[in-house]
Amino acid sequence: MSKSSSPVTPASTVAKSAPIREAEDRFVSMWGQMAGAWGISRTMAEVHALLYITAQSLCPDDIMSRLDISRGNASMSLRALLEWGIVERAHRRGDRKEYFQSESDVWAMFRAIVRERIKREVDPLLASLHEIRDSTRPHRLLPPANEAESAAINQRLDAMVEFFQTVEKLGHRFVSPPGRGLRLAASLLGSFAGIGGGGEDSTGRAAGSVRGGEGL
């Protein structure tokens, strides 16, 4: 996401109806409960959920008031969300406050989340696996009688490295900037499982099928 230069949707000055407010609050709470699955703090998840579900540009004061959190928590959460690429800064003409708005495209949002999880979790894991494997090479072990045991350990480590390298390659392909990979993968999986993208589209082609020449 790049810095917004287009007009932004301001926070409404009209009081929201009780059902709308309740729905927003329930979404924020639900998203916060899922924070652990994304590898982020609950507050960070709730700030993102509020920006997404309201579809409005909010300043830190707005966020602090709505979520009842401190300025420090709001600032840290917004800074982290900017780093993840799922929130961007927005400005209002004549207003010196800093506003923030969420990525509105769900597929772009989850590509960014998956990309960040790969960078923060899979990449360090692979680096550690390589380091552990290198430390058990036969020439590093004494006495030589341990070579058979070392070979067995390395065989298991090599299998683990190969698996996570495949995960990393697939992940980068699915979340690459050009961007249709994640949607296509989900569509294909849904088609195979008989859910989501199953059946045929208006052209008679199986939903989720790949057009000739289209890659991930």
Number of separate helices (H) and strands (E) present in the chain: 9, 2
Q: Tell me which of 1.10.10.10, 3.20.190.10, 3.40.190.10, 3.40.50.720 is the CATH number of domain 18-104.
A: 1.10.10.10
Q: Could you tell me the residue ranges of all domains in the chain?
A: 18-104, 107-193
- pLDDT at residue 211, as a whole number: 45
Residue 16 has a CB neighbour count (10 Å cut-off) of 12
Task: Tell me the pTM.
Answer: 0.66
What is the dihedral angle through the alpha carbons of 204, 207, 208, 212, rounded to the nearest 10 degrees?
0
- Would you give per-residue pLDDT tens digits along the chain (216 residues)? 544 444 444 454 456 788 999 999 999 999 999 988 777 899 999 999 999 999 999 999 999 999 999 999 999 999 999 999 999 999 888 888 999 999 998 888 888 888 888 888 888 999 999 888 888 765 555 566 667 777 788 889 999 999 988 888 877 777 666 555 556 666 665 666 665 444 444 444 444 444 444 444
Strands (E), the chain: 87-90, 99-102
Residue matched to tokens 């195979």: 192
